[in-house]
Amino acid sequence: MPLQQRIKVLIADDMVELRSNVRRMLSSAENILVVAECEDGEDALKKVVEFAPHIILMDINMPKIDGLKATEMLAKDHPEIQVVIMSVQSEQEYFRRAMKAGAKDFLTKPFSSSDLIETITNVFNKWVKDRPDFQLTEHNAQVLTFFSTKGGVGKTTLAANLAVGLAQKGKKTLLIDVSLQFGDVAITLNLKPSRSIFNVVDKEEQVTAANIEKNLTQHPSGLDLLLAPLEPAYAEAIKPAHIKSILELMIPAYQYIIIDTAPKIAEIELALLDHTDILFLLATLEISSLKNTKMCLKTFNDIKFDTSKIKLVLNKDIPNVGIGPADIEAGLAIPMFAVVPMDSGTAQKALNTGEPFVVKFPESSLAQSIEEIMKKILPAEEMAKKPLPKKSAFFKIKDLLTGSVS
């Protein structure tokens, strides 16, 4: 079933509280999706390229480049993007200046939810009406699913580090822990969860984007997370239909969605596969892992999963143990996508401090292997970007274990 197509909105205002209030107002509108926020006109001009919004809600008074100047530049370089000016100034002169700059409407602060939604809808519908050939399209996230046939192969660690790495590159990324009974994403990233995927579906007749958003956990890297239930007993409440709805609602809101799965193929995993663009299938050099991986490949073929989406990743590679990547490729009849070396010391130190190795040990062989994976899924110009600064200090693992983190 096709995704519900929605009007993509970018909020540009230097007041955090205003942006939060606008996002809250729009959460009730199922036909509107907030794709990004920014606090100045310069950042707004950058984010329109990255997120391709249909409409920008633009404040006038912002640092670096003010709203009117940014609107003029958008009208020249991106005429397909419609701007609605927001201002506390209600005088006719401000309205005139906004229209001259290229804005399509003007909202005087404070405004109501109904006025905001009506203005966005009217501006967009008017624009679409004059373009009968226009097809409303969404920026769909690439869904990257990590799967293994047994635990202990490092699946969660690689999923978490790839997700953080993408977030550091400035990509809007969501990591979902669908190992519902014993998910380890939270402890891997040293987060003390207070909400989870269970809260999205508990006592809710229908999964909504607003309810998903309020149950996300934010990581200091900028990564969003939808964590596994806090207790194994809650896992039974999450059904395949819930997973399907969550993905369909979140795919238009992100650039990448990383999914960490349980080592099984059941109804929920099948629902995930329906939306997966790349399936990272992890194996190690253990004979049992290779045997199970071969059986897994046969199962994927039997259920008619598009095997071209499967990318084989050898984790914990050790040289000179009698079997190597070339042997595995030959035995499994599938090319090797990536090889991650064994470096248990680096991995354990990163885990014990609650800091991903792509952050704590960026020069390590483990971090470089994640970098190599990103090179294969990101455009070259995106790989050239420096990691973004961390938003805040990382927690210490002892705080998590003692419960002292608030």
The three-state DSSP-derived secondary structure of the chain is: CCCCCCEEEEEECCCHHHHHHHHHHHCCCCCEEEEEEECCHHHHHHHHHHHCCCEEEEECCCCCCCHHHHHHHHHHHCCCCEEEEEECCCCHHHHHHHHHHCCCEEEECCCCHHHHHHHHHHHHHHHHHCCCCCCCCCCCCEEEEEECCCCCCCHHHHHHHHHHHHHHCCCCEEEEEECCCCCCHHHHCCCCCCCCHHHHHCCCCCCCHHHHHHCCEECCCCCEEECCCCCHHHHHHCCHHHHHHHHHHHHHHCCEEEEEECCCCCHHHHHHHHHCCEEEEEECCCHHHHHHHHHHHHHHHHCCCCHHHEEEEEEEECCCCCCCHHHHHHHHCCCEEEEEECCHHHHHHHHHHCCCHHHHCCCCHHHHHHHHHHHHHCCHHHHCCCCCCCCCCCCCHHHHHHCCCC
| Domains in the chain: boundaries | 7-129, 142-402
Class of 7-129 per CATH?
A: alpha beta
Q: What is the pLDDT of residue 161?
A: 96
Is there a common fold for 7-129 and 142-402?
A: yes
Bridge partners, residue 85, by sequence = 58, 106
**Residue 36: how many other CB atoms lie within 10 Å:** 21
pLDDT at 204: 67
Peptide linkage before 110 cis (omega within 30 of 0): yes
pLDDT at residue number 393 = 36
Q: What strand order describes the sheet that includes 310-317?
A: 217-218, 224-226, 173-178, 256-261, 142-147, 278-283, 310-317, 336-341
Per-residue pLDDT of the chain (406 residues; tens, 9 = 90+): 233 457 889 999 999 889 989 988 887 787 888 888 888 999 999 888 877 889 999 999 898 899 899 999 999 999 889 999 998 887 888 889 999 999 999 999 889 999 999 999 999 988 887 765 555 545 578 999 999 998 888 999 999 999 999 999 989 899 999 999 999 999 999 898 889 999 998 876 678 877 888 889 989 898 999 999 999 999 999 999 999 989 988 888 889 999 999 999 999 999 999 999 999 999 988 888 888 999 999 999 999 999 899 999 999 888 877 677 888 888 888 999 999 999 889 988 988 888 899 998 999 999 999 999 999 988 665 555 555 444 433 334 434 443 433 3
What was the pLDDT predicted at 33? 84
**Res 277: pLDDT:** 95
Which CATH fold topology does 142-402 show?
Rossmann fold (3.40.50)
Ramachandran angles phi, psi of 398, nearest 5°: -65, -30
CA gap 117, 189 in Å, rounded: 37
